[in-house]
Amino acid sequence: MIAAFDLLEALPVAVYTTDAEGCITFYNEAAAELWGQRPERGTKWCGSWRLYWPDGRPMPHDECPIATTLTEGRPVQGIEAIIERRDGSRVPFIPYPTLLRDESGRVTGAINLLVNIADRKHAEIQSARLAAIVASSDDAIISKTLNGQITSWNAGATRIFGYEPDEIIGQSITRIIPPELRQEEEVILAKLQRGERIDHYDTTRVTKDGRRVNISLTVSPLRDETGKVIGASKVARDVTERKQTEELQRLLLDELNHRVKNTLATIQAIASQSLRRAASPGDFLESFNGRVQALARAHNLLVQRKMKGAELTDLVREQVVLGAADCARVSVSGPFLILDARVAVQLALVLHELGTNARKYGALSASAPAGQLSISWKMQTDGERELLLEWSESGVPNLSAPTSRGFGATLIERSLEANGGEAAIRYGADGVVCQIRLPLPEESKQSAALHAAPATRKNEPRLDREALPAALRGRRILIVEDEPLVAMEIESLLASTGCEIIGPAATIQTAKRFIADATIDAALIDANLAGHPVHELAAALTQKNIPFAFATGYGREALPLGFRDAPVLTKPFSRSQLLVVIEALLKELAAHVA
């Protein structure tokens, strides 16, 4: 008997014995550790402080499994219970009570083996928690074998990819992989077989209805009890919204880059044109500052409307009615009208030129104290939408028409032509009347192809300053540019070298007519004409073997597909950069002819 108790004492499992009345006669060290105390010999039924059923209800000691076994004469095994120690900690366990009998079969007591199932319970809870996470996750959680066969598929996978579990489990994972990306699966399987984990990487998968979704994928190896890799688990997160946000951010930055460069090119042209036509340094400073301030006021209005446009009344007020004295001499009338950003800036410069002329020589000048200015407009919707604006000055004595065409008149004409409009200026008996017709496009549609990330510019050929004028003299250069001031500057620079200018063309239609009908040696094309791509023009020039370059504030990747290797003149540009590009185009023409 002593040897038997020594054996029980050495067991790592909790064991205790009782007599026929349920009083404890022996317990081992493992039992004392499980109970959290050392009960006195003779303690009845159990050595624990308190017992509970699995659902949390208290279990009286005289109803515990060993008590039932002794009182009813039958073993009660396999049920679960919970021990509470005096320190408040609880331990789940399973009792295995067995009756002890003497040689005659009489019950002499019982032996109870208590199996601590805390670790198992913890594992079950963890497993249940993981199962709940997998089931409720918005991410796709998929498991597969090493040959790519899908073995599990959660609700997140159904939401992202569209397949129900019974449609896809047992199928190959390649069912959701685009054909051109299936080599990814081979790389993944090779890494998994080496026990490697594939951390987050972005890729594309195909849904049940054929859509492509952007996902961030993590792949981990699954191992058996021996550590052998037997499969993989994949967690795929739909990052389409994130990708769209990143793309929008990139487009906005590219658009900002384009707008800034176009604005700098416009200011550069204003400076050059103002200087070229100024009678004195003071005259230049006044005209240049006035035009730049007009540009700044127009941009202030655009910023107020988040660059979506400007209201015409505000535009007139900012460019014409500059002080309290003007209010009594200027009348403004017309319907509420929002102009898009590009048209607003160009019309602002037109109004500034008219207003400056009125202050110097016309109805708002000191020499015309009785002068009056009326600005009115209306919308005409017969067919296309058109703005009809009339600028009418009166009370100007001794008015005479100018003998030469000034920069202001040229700017007004070019600005309106760039938008398909026109201006008719008439010098009456006592004032100037300017009638403006300006087509107004529907909400502009920017081409996604024109909003790409900037690319590294290619090396430009070096400028041969001595040979260049002779090389350009008499060459017919087509200019396609919708920013009037930039077009005027390009025209002036090329004309000064002896080039013959075709255009400038401010619209796709006008440019196509020039390409079809005119003799052209080379062309310079704005890569974005009022939001419209210029791939048609590039294709037409290529078909006629006319070399061309793009002038743009975007990067090379924003150029039309198939033409991204063409020469690029990045706005703003200098005279030498412009001439280098034109020289390179003419060399290309000469090589082609030879």
Domain ranges of the chain: 2-122, 137-238, 310-439, 450-593
Contact assessment for residue 14 and residue 113, using Cβ atoms and an 8 Å cutoff: yes
CATH code that applies to domain 2-122: 3.30.450.20
Residue-level pLDDT, tens digit, the chain, 594 residues: 446 677 778 788 999 999 999 999 999 999 999 999 999 888 999 899 999 999 999 999 999 999 999 999 888 877 899 999 999 999 999 999 999 999 898 999 999 999 998 888 777 667 666 666 666 677 888 888 888 899 998 888 998 999 999 999 999 998 999 998 888 888 887 887 788 887 778 889 999 999 999 988 888 888 887 888 888 888 888 888 787 777 777 777 776 776 777 777 888 888 888 887 777 888 888 888 888 888 888 888 888 887 778 899 889 988 887 665 677 789 999 998 999 888 888 899 899 999 988 988 899 888 888 999 999 999 888 777 889 999 999 999 888 888 777 778 888 888 888 778 899 998 888 889 999 999 887 643 333 333 333 333 333 334 444 444 567 889 999 999 988 888 888 988 898 889 999 989 988 999 999 999 999 999 999 988 877 888 999 999 999 999 999 988 777 777 888 888 888 888 888 787 888 889 888 888 887 765
- The pLDDT value recorded for residue 464 is 43
The closest of 579, 575, 483 to 522, measured between CA atoms, is: 579
**For the domain 310-439, what is the CATH superfamily, name and number?**
Histidine kinase-like ATPase, C-terminal domain (3.30.565.10)
Neighbours of 7 (CB within 10 A): 11
Phi (first) and psi of residue 155, to 5 degrees = -65, -35
Task: Report CA 558 to chain centroid distance, whole Å.
Answer: 16
E strand or H helix at 549, and its extent? strand 548-552
> Concatenated DSSP letters for 335-404?
---EEPHHHHHHHHHHHHHHHHHHHHTSTTSTT-TT-EEEEEEEEE-SSS-EEEEEEEEE--TT----SS
Q: What is the DSSP letter of 81?
A: E
The closest of 522, 514, 516, 528 to 497, measured between CA atoms, is: 522
Q: Could you say which architecture CATH assigns to the domain 450-593?
A: 3-Layer(aba) Sandwich (3.40)
Spatial distance between the Cα atoms of 70 and 21, rounded to a whole number of angstroms: 8
- The pLDDT value recorded for residue 30 is 92
Amino acid at 280: S
309 sits in the region (left: phi over 0; alpha: psi -120 to 50; else beta) called: left
- The pLDDT value recorded for residue 325 is 63
Contact assessment for residue 66 and residue 44, using Cβ atoms and an 8 Å cutoff: no
The closest of 283, 280, 291 to 319, measured between CA atoms, is: 291
Regarding the domain delimited by 137-238, which CATH topology (the fold level of the hierarchy) does it fall under? Beta-Lactamase (3.30.450)
- The pLDDT value recorded for residue 239 is 83
Tokens (6 digits) for 520: 């052209």
Pairing of the two strands 476-480 and 522-526:
parallel
E strand or H helix at 301, and its extent? helix 281-304
Rounded alpha-carbon distances, angstroms, from residue 198 to 180, 220, 237, 382, 383: 20, 6, 14, 63, 60
Q: Do domains 2-122 and 137-238 have the same CATH topology?
A: yes
The closest of 502, 319, 510, 320 to 420, measured between CA atoms, is: 510
Q: How many residues does the chain have?
A: 594
Spatial distance between the Cα atoms of 279 and 367, rounded to a whole number of angstroms: 21
Spatial distance between the Cα atoms of 117 and 34, rounded to a whole number of angstroms: 11
The separation between the first and the last C-alpha atoms of the chain, rounded to the nearest angstrom, is 117
498-529 CB burial, b ≥16 within 10 A, e <16:
ebeebbbbbbbebbeebbeeeebbbbbbbbbb
- Return the CA Rg of the chain: 44
Rounded alpha-carbon distances, angstroms, from residue 375 to 363, 454, 487, 541: 12, 43, 28, 43
